[in-house]
Structure 1
Amino acid sequence: MSRLTDHLIVISFDCLSSLDFPMLQELPHFKELLQRGSYCNQVQTIYPSVTYPCHTTIVTGNYPKRHGIVNNTLLQPGRLSPDWYWHRKHVKGTTLYDEAKKAGMTTAALLWPVTARANIDYNMPEIFANRSWHHQVPVSLSNGSIRYQLDLNRRFGHLRKGLNQPELDDFVLESTVYTIKTKKPELMLVHFVDLDSQRHYHGFASKEAMAAVERHDVRLGRIIQALKESGIYENSTIVALGDHSALDESKAIKLNVLFKEKGLIDVNEHGKVKSWKAYCKSCDGSAYIYLNEPSDHQTKEVVEELLKNLVLNQTNGIEKVISQHEAAAMGADENCAFMVEARRGFYIKEQIDGEFIDSITERDVRAKRYTLASHGYSPEKKDYTTLIIAAGKGIRPNVVVPSMHLVDEGPTFARLLGLDLGSTDGSVVEDLIYDS
């Protein structure tokens, strides 16, 4: 298979929505990209539409049930801070960066989800210290490229303020520019989280979120300039994309509170989970319901009746109960007993204490107990699509793709690099590709 570009730079602007497109058309660097290239501003995301499954779908072309990253975090009932699907070992099958490496290409990834300990030449994975005795720097170093990360931290570490935004993305930007100029990777994956953070804690259309979109335009401009200064711009393909949208919420649902009341979750004297028969695993806008014993039909019947009764009253915030079979058909985890979809204005938390429904206050948000907007909702929700813009070598100019799916992005990127991801759930978006 012929290779259509020498350098593919994929930039993920986490939580970039189709609703942002009119604004992007007016910002100088997004506008430049749009004028040079092509786009689709109706990209359907996956279910559940959370960051780690989405980014794994982007590099595999598969739905979560197939690539194995079915949520952001692992099923660890009652744990205050569950571990995330940080590591490459969790991904089933191959990825874009695996195939690029096999083909002898130079690869780089900056905070791209689920790449800890991946075989990437220049890798700064997204992972954080999740134990009281862990420290961020050694955790990052031990899971990525040690010398590369030490160099980046020495040069740009002063820009960071822990995981706070926009400082973290400013650090990622300088690291990206430096990597382009010094390493000239043939495949580069970059993940910016500023917009997602602002939407979570200030609301979807907040002034803070809009300011983050403007900062992203500046970041895009700096990356384009770095490609020009390094002499590889004409032989490069630049892709700017989102992974999911978000919706505002004002109430939090805690199904595990009900499960505890029904005797399906047992806690100790400290309120920690001691044992469980059923557990609600949050995906924010949706949730998985798992049974400790999948063959426990009695518990399943109790849970099903409970959930279906909740749907009857809109104030409970549950829009829909999805069966195991239906969840699998949508590409979600086929090992769940059910999924539940939250109504607009609601999202789902895992807590087992307090009231079943909590109204979200500013104080809650300041304490980072709750958020004002989230994702994880069904891709069938109205006005919930994301977008992709591609320009440069191998991309047809001035094409508007009416609609596509997140699973189509991986096969399309593989085609640009002359790679093959094998049998995938998605397919190459031929309208975007200029095959000379």
Structure 2
Amino acid sequence: MKNKPNFLIVISFDCLSGLDFPVLEQLPNFKEFLHKASYSKNVESIYPSVTYPCHATIVTGKLPKNHGIINNTFIQPGWESPDWYWERKYIKGTTLYDEAKKAGMKTAALLWPVTAKADIDYNMPEIFANRRWHNQILVSLMNGTPMYQLEMNKKFGHIRKGLNQPALDDFVLESTVQTIKDKKPNLLLVHFTDLDTQRHYHGFSSKEAMDAIKRHDDRLGRIISALKEAGIFEESAVIALGDHSALDESKAIKLNVLLQKRGLLTADEKGNVKDWRVYCKSCDGSAYIYVKDERDDEAKAAVKQLLDELMKERENGIENVLTGEEAAKTGADDNCVFMIEALKGYYFSEAITGHYLEDIREQDVKEKIYTYACHGYSPWKPDYQTIFMASGKGIKPNKVIDHMRLIDEGPTLARLLGLEIGEVDGRPIEELLDLE
């Protein structure tokens, strides 16, 4: 493969939607990038379409049930802030960055999900202090590359304002630019969450979301400029992609409230779970329903009866109910008993206090109790696609792929680098590649 790139830069713009494509075409850096790029603005995400499963899929080419990252967070009933699937050890099998490292390539990852404690040369993992006694900087240092992170924090830490956006992405950008210039990694994975945050707390088409897209345009331009300054642009392939889209919502569904009323879980008046037989685990636009004891047929029958009742009235906000077997066929967790999909305008909360249905109020969003837009919905919902754009060495120019899937991205990126990532659920999009 004489046309194989020596450098692959994968930029994930979290929550970039196919509906954003007309906006991207008018922004200076995306416009220039797209002038020679091949792309699909109709990329089918995975189920559930949430960030951590999506990013594990991008680097493995597998569906969630096969790579093991079946949600953002663990099943920890009653926890106000459940732990996330931060660590690499939770991914089953190999990844793009593992195989790149084995092939002698220099690797870097900045806030790429599920990379804590991964074998990456320059690793700044996405992980946050989730205990009162934890310190954010120490948690990051312990789970990534300590000296590299200290170096980036020393140079650019003044930009960051905790986990607040857009300051966090501005810090990640400066660290990315410096990493390209100083380290010249053969594989660089970078994850920006500014747009996702703005859509959650202001709405899909809000001014704040549109401003975030404009900031992403600047970020793309800075990264390309850094490749040129480092003298490696002509040997590079640049991938800009999204992981999922988002939908606006105005009502929160709290199924656990009903499960408590039916004696299927117990909690105190503050919503602290004492015990449970059945639990609704949110994926935002969808939710898993788990039974604690798989032999508890009585609990399974009781929750099925409840769901059958709720499905009779559209106002209850549930669009679809899948059995565990049906959920597994979509690629979702095969350990759930049911998987439920919210109607457009609704999403699932794990809260146990209050009413089954809650209107989302401005004050609730300000206090980060609820959001105005979310993802996690079925990837087959209309107008819910994401984007894949590629340009540079090894990429054919101006090819438009009518439809592709998130599971195709891992095999495509591996093929671009001449790597094998084992058994996958997708396929390399050969129509994009020009490697001979």
Letter paired with 1:331? G
Is residue 2:167 matched to residue 1:167?
Answer: yes
Query: What CA deviation, in whole Å up to 9, does each residue of 1:141-196 have, x standing for no partner?
Result: 00000000000000000000000000000000000000000000000000000000
Query: How far off is 1:2 after superposition?
Result: 6.7
- In the alignment, what sits opposite 1:200? 200
Contact 1:280 1:290 in 2 (8 A): yes
Farther off after superposition, 121-130 or 414-423? 414-423
Alignment of 1:32-431 (within 5 A): 32-268=32-268, 271-431=271-431
Which segments of 5 or more consecutive residues in structure 2 lack a partner in the other structure? none
Contact 1:3 1:418 in 2 (8 A): no
Query: How far off is 1:271 after superposition?
Result: 3.7
Query: What CA deviation, in whole Å up to 9, does each residue of 1:233-271 have, x standing for no partner?
Result: 000000000000000000000000000000000124654
The 3-state SS of whatever aligns with 2:57 is helix
Query: How far off is 1:367 after superposition?
Result: 0.7
Query: For residues 313 and 71 of structure 1, what CA distance do their matches in structure 2 show?
Result: 28
TM-score for both structures, normalised by structure 1: 0.99
Runs of 4+ in 1 over 6 A off after TM superposition: none
Which segments of 5 or more consecutive residues in structure 1 lack a partner in the other structure? none
- The 3 A distance-change label for structure 1 pair 201 and 271 is closer
Contact 1:124 1:145 in 2 (8 A): yes
Contact 2:271 2:351 in 1 (8 A): no
Contact 1:4 1:415 in 2 (8 A): no
Is residue 2:10 matched to residue 1:10?
Answer: yes
- The 3 A distance-change label for structure 1 pair 292 and 230 is same
Query: For residues 271 and 343 of structure 1, what CA distance do their matches in structure 2 show?
Result: 26
Query: How far off is 1:435 after superposition?
Result: 2.0
Query: How far off is 1:114 after superposition?
Result: 0.2
- The 3 A distance-change label for structure 1 pair 2 and 335 is farther
Letter paired with 1:378? S
Query: How far off is 1:309 after superposition?
Result: 1.3
Query: For residues 10 and 220 of structure 1, what CA distance do their matches in structure 2 show?
Result: 11
Query: For residues 285 and 270 of structure 1, what CA distance do their matches in structure 2 show?
Result: 25
- In the alignment, what sits opposite 1:19? 19
Query: For residues 309 and 29 of structure 1, what CA distance do their matches in structure 2 show?
Result: 52
Query: For residues 97 and 56 of structure 1, what CA distance do their matches in structure 2 show?
Result: 11
Query: For residues 57 and 416 of structure 2, what CA distance do their matches in structure 1 show?
Result: 17
Query: For residues 376 and 148 of structure 1, what CA distance do their matches in structure 2 show?
Result: 33
Query: For residues 69 and 164 of structure 1, what CA distance do their matches in structure 2 show?
Result: 25
Contact 2:281 2:289 in 1 (8 A): yes
Contact 1:395 1:433 in 2 (8 A): yes
Query: What CA deviation, in whole Å up to 9, does each residue of 1:344-398 have, x standing for no partner?
Result: 0000000111111000011111111100000000011110000111000000001
